[in-house]
Amino acid sequence: MGKVNFNAGPSILPKAAFENASKAVLDFDGIGLSILEISHRSKEFQAVMDETVALFKELLNVPEGYHVLFVGGGASTQFFHVPYNLLEKKAGYVNTGVWAKKAMKEAVNFGETVCVASSEDKNFTYVPKGYDIPTDLDYLHITTNNTIYGTELHYDMDSPVTLVADMSSDIMSRPVDVSKYGLIYGGAQKNLAPAGVTFVIVREDILGKVSRKLPSMVDYRSHISGGSMYNTPPVFPIFVMRETLRWLKALGGVEKMYEINKRKAAILYDEIDANPLFKGTAVKEDRSLMNVCFVMNDGYEELADEFRTFATERGMVGIKGHRLVGGFRASIYNAMPEEGVKALVDVMREFAKIKG
């Protein structure tokens, strides 16, 4: 096979999405205009928006009372939009790594912010569980998949207060019980779309409770009443997201995707555990199905650069680990085919045969 793309984000998307996107850039739906030059208020784009929202709701089984919004600014903008809209007195954050910390850093500007649990003591190699959640919080913020450290919360936790989740890097990778959350957000560039669009799933009844004045662009209610068209939405990324969601639906939806993702991840983790040259960095029960982090095993540390070159020469792209973890990270998002994972496993075996 050619190049196998393990980039952490922006990242691999279904080939069908690329093909249909490239066609739409030249002539969108046979209307003789590019998707890049039509009005976001045209009936043609309105149909794209409506279908994308409908697919998003259908695939994640979003209950009544929730809105799905597509906005700009990335997950990092949501880091302050969330407290702006929801933090009156006190917010709780679970510190599971860099992104969680960045989210917490913004909340501090809006009210009392407490760190309810943290895995910093072990360089974020696990996900804290079983901690007490204070009941006087306006909301509790969690990060369900820690892209940099390769840890993931594999279930929807119960919370006595409104639960807010950054699902940037595991959205649509498994079924989610949306009813357990007040708000879910994320940058779409990990699993759904090119960079530029941010998804927000919000339960309407949590809004409008803070006493501060909200700039319109910050207020989720503007985007709800505007149907994600309060201002010009990221038209092209939304179009590509629709193509990704169509692909996901045709494949059998999120349940089916979850099965495939578990199988793909097991292939790679099994190799990491069996291969004497490598070891995983996250504790087993919290291993991410999306971002697989590993390093050279004890005694083989000096082979890291050599393996990176070896793998790159064999078409593996983007496997360098984040600088905070080191080693390697293979991001195996929804669109990564099983053959891609097997190709990496083959490279690891080949390297072990030479060096072991």
Cα separation, 276 vs 279, whole angstroms: 8
Q: Minimum CB separation from ligand PLP for residue 144, in Å?
A: 8
Closest CA to 119 of 137, 87, 136, 142: 142
Copy the structure tokens of residue 247: 């692909």
The residue within the footprint of ligand PLP, chosen from 99, 139, 220, 236 (CB under 6 A), is 99
Cα separation, 300 vs 292, whole angstroms: 19
3-state secondary structure 191-241: CCCCCCCEEEEEEHHHCCCCCCCCCCCCCHHHHHHCCCCCCCCCHHHHHHH
Residue 169 · residue 192 · CB < 8 Å: no
Residue 284 · residue 292 · CB < 8 Å: no
Q: Which is nearer to ligand PLP, 9 or 237 (CB)?
A: 9
DSSP 73: S
Task: Identify the sign of the CA torsion 113, 224, 228, 159.
Answer: positive
Closest CA to 161 of 258, 92, 233: 92
Q: Which is nearer to ligand PLP, 95 or 147 (CB)?
A: 147
Contact pattern from residue 163 through residue 182 relative to ligand PLP, giving x for each residue in contact according to CB under 6 A and a dash for the rest: ---x-xx-------------
Catalytic residue among 138, 170, 190, 286: 190
Q: Which is nearer to ligand PLP, 242 or 322 (CB)?
A: 322
The residue within the footprint of ligand PLP, chosen from 76, 179, 222, 312 (CB under 6 A), is 76
Stretch that binds ligand PLP, among 72-80, 121-129, 226-234, 235-243 (CB under 6 A): 72-80
Q: Give the chain's length.
A: 356
Stretch that binds ligand PLP, among 33-41, 74-82, 225-233, 319-327 (CB under 6 A): 74-82
Q: Which is nearer to ligand PLP, 20 or 244 (CB)?
A: 244
99 is catalytic: yes
Return the residue matching tokens 């984040």: 322
Cα separation, 159 vs 203, whole angstroms: 15
Q: In DSSP terms, which residues pair with 203 in a beta bridge?
A: 66
The H or E element containing residue 330 is strand 328-331
The residue within the footprint of ligand PLP, chosen from 5, 9, 140, 281 (CB under 6 A), is 9
190 is catalytic: yes
Contacts of residue 57, Cβ cutoff 8 Å, sequence gap at least 6: 66, 68
Q: Minimum CB separation from ligand PLP for residue 154, in Å?
A: 15
Q: Which is nearer to ligand PLP, 88 or 156 (CB)?
A: 156
Cα separation, 21 vs 17, whole angstroms: 6
> Is residue 147 at the binding interface for ligand PLP, with CB under 6 A as the rule?
yes
Q: Which is nearer to ligand PLP, 84 or 99 (CB)?
A: 99
Return the residue matching tokens 């949501």: 78
Q: Minimum CB separation from ligand PLP for residue 231, in Å?
A: 18
Q: Minimum CB separation from ligand PLP for residue 28, in Å?
A: 26
> Is residue 237 at the binding interface for ligand PLP, with CB under 6 A as the rule?
no
Q: Minimum CB separation from ligand PLP for residue 9, in Å?
A: 5
Q: Minimum CB separation from ligand PLP for residue 134, in Å?
A: 24
> Is residue 150 at the binding interface for ligand PLP, with CB under 6 A as the rule?
no
Q: Which is nearer to ligand PLP, 240 or 347 (CB)?
A: 240
Q: Minimum CB separation from ligand PLP for residue 293, in Å?
A: 13
Catalytic residue among 138, 166, 170, 286: 166
The residue within the footprint of ligand PLP, chosen from 20, 85, 119, 143 (CB under 6 A), is 143
Copy the structure tokens of residue 252: 């059998």
76, with CB counted inside 10 A (0-12, 13-18, 19+), is middle
Contacts with ligand PLP by CB under 6 A lie at 9, 74-76, 99, 143, 147, 166, 168-169, 187, 190
Q: Which positions are annotated as active-site residues?
A: 99, 166, 190
